[in-house]
Structure 1
Amino acid sequence: MLRKLLQISILTVCISCSGRQEKNIGIQPYGKIDKSLVDTLGATIKNVYNFKVSVLESKAIPKSTFINVKSPRYRADKILKLLRNEKPDSIHHILGLTNKDISTTKKDALGNTRKPEKKYKDWGVFGLGYCPGASCIVSTYRFKNNTLKFVDRFKKICIHEIGHNLGLKHCPNESCVMRDAAESIKTIDLVELNLCDACRLKIK
């Protein structure tokens, strides 16, 4: 009897595993993004999340997202909505890439625009992603032209925003890639290109 129950248990686990669908991350380049950079990112996503990666055909960044409040920028929150709405059904999450400056309105814990409002109403960002959700966007505009750190920063921000899509919030672990950048590129340089054990357990 015990042997039969064990066989049923194993069969149930096997059926469950075979029915589990591999997640597919889509990369949507906006404008000219270096192919080697996209390829490197794809390999990093596979390494960190073990997801399939599909690179979509490059297209122009939507003009409807352009604003010029403090400087010429594209609204990251509007891009997220477009990415989500235009995402192919075969893709679970989609990551937009651009070299243009992107911005959003930075909110406090109560959902109000942070003070001073003039500073945070149109706040330039490295990236933005729904938490949880289906889309995120990363801009290389603020990474500085330091070739030794550029690619590393790029990969870390992309992995961070995908983490938000998967439901991960900012992590207190100072070496985790999900650590809050706290408005500084230097914070990104200090984290590892990986999730801490606590964050990894949350997405399993």
Structure 2
Amino acid sequence: MYNLLILPLDYEYEFLNELSHICRNIYRFVNVEVLNKEKLPEHILLGHGSLFARLIMRDRRMVYLDDLLAHLKKCYVAGDYTKILAILPHYVLGFGEGLLGYTPYKNLSIVSTYAIKGRYFSRACIGVCLHEIGHSFGLSHCKNKGCLMRVPCRPSSFNDGVYKLCIMHEKLLNFKS
């Protein structure tokens, strides 16, 4: 019943095909389309104002959440049965400290890979994306160990590459489909 558009911004991620397959299985999307990488407009990306910022940020940039949302609203329109997942490598000012993703609307989820590092990068990114997509279906946070919606949503929670919902969230998802 639902469609998913995966939108990589400013970076080509290797895990997107695997993510699309897992999304079909867990959330039962009818169609999952990985769009071509889009380059964000320079005017919404923040540069490094100081030497300290350049040392910490290196080649990565920052973007204000409001500017990113305005850009996505202007360029992409999702209907009631289409969801958009935007993935970007930049630090998003407005997410809040330690947050990797945000679902501001029922049809839009945003994931920043900025703070995800290490050997399990792809697995962690997939897990965080699936967690945010769960929010787009109205799924709340969970205390059950092993559930995708578990809080806090940390990259290390997905090192094993196992992605599943608890029984309660499975039932809620079946009810919404």
Q: In which range does the TM-score fall when normalised by the shorter chain? A: 0.7 to 0.9
Q: Partner of 2:103 in structure 1?
A: 129
**1:126 and 1:142 in contact (8 A); partners too:** yes
1:93 aligns with 2:72: no
Give the deviation of 1:100 after TM superposition.
2.0
| RMSD (Å) for aligned C-alpha atoms | 2.7
CA distance in 2: counterparts of 1:64 and 1:176, whole angstroms:
39
Give the deviation of 1:86 after TM superposition.
3.2
SS of residue paired to 1:125: coil
Which residue type is aligned with residue 168 of structure 2? A
1:105-137 per-residue CA deviation (whole Å, 9 max, x = no partner) reads 54xxxxxxxxxxxxxxxx35321112x511111
SS of residue paired to 1:151: helix
Aligned pairs, how many? 162
More helix by share: 1
CA distance in 1: counterparts of 2:109 and 2:78, whole angstroms:
16
Q: Partner of 2:147 in structure 1?
A: 176
Moved more, 188-197 or 68-77: 68-77
Give the deviation of 1:37 after TM superposition.
1.7
**CA separation of 1:63/1:125 partners in 2, compared to 1, >3 Å: closer, same or farther?**
farther
Write the mapping of 1:112-151 to structure 2, written as runs, cut at 5 A: 123-130=97-104, 133-146=106-119, 149-151=120-122
Q: Partner of 1:79 in structure 2?
A: 68
**1:99 and 1:139 in contact (8 A); partners too:** yes
SS of residue paired to 1:60: coil
TM-score by length of 1: 0.67
**CA separation of 1:64/1:176 partners in 2, compared to 1, >3 Å: closer, same or farther?**
farther
Larger Rg: 1
Q: Partner of 1:157 in structure 2?
A: 128
Q: How many percent of aligned residue pairs carry the same amino acid?
A: 25
Choose the corresponding residue for 1:196, options 149, 161, 166: 166
Give the deviation of 1:190 after TM superposition.
7.2
CA distance in 1: counterparts of 2:98 and 2:8, whole angstroms:
19
1:25-78 per-residue CA deviation (whole Å, 9 max, x = no partner) reads 1111112313x4211111111111110202223211244543469764223454
Q: Partner of 1:26 in structure 2?
A: 5
1:166-188 per-residue CA deviation (whole Å, 9 max, x = no partner) reads 11111111210101126x43344
Q: Partner of 1:66 in structure 2?
A: 45
**CA separation of 1:32/1:105 partners in 2, compared to 1, >3 Å: closer, same or farther?**
closer
1:50 aligns with 2:28: yes
TM-score by length of 2: 0.76
**CA separation of 1:128/1:88 partners in 2, compared to 1, >3 Å: closer, same or farther?**
same
**1:133 and 1:165 in contact (8 A); partners too:** yes
SS of residue paired to 1:203: helix
Q: Which has the higher contact order (CA 8 A, sep 6+)?
A: 2
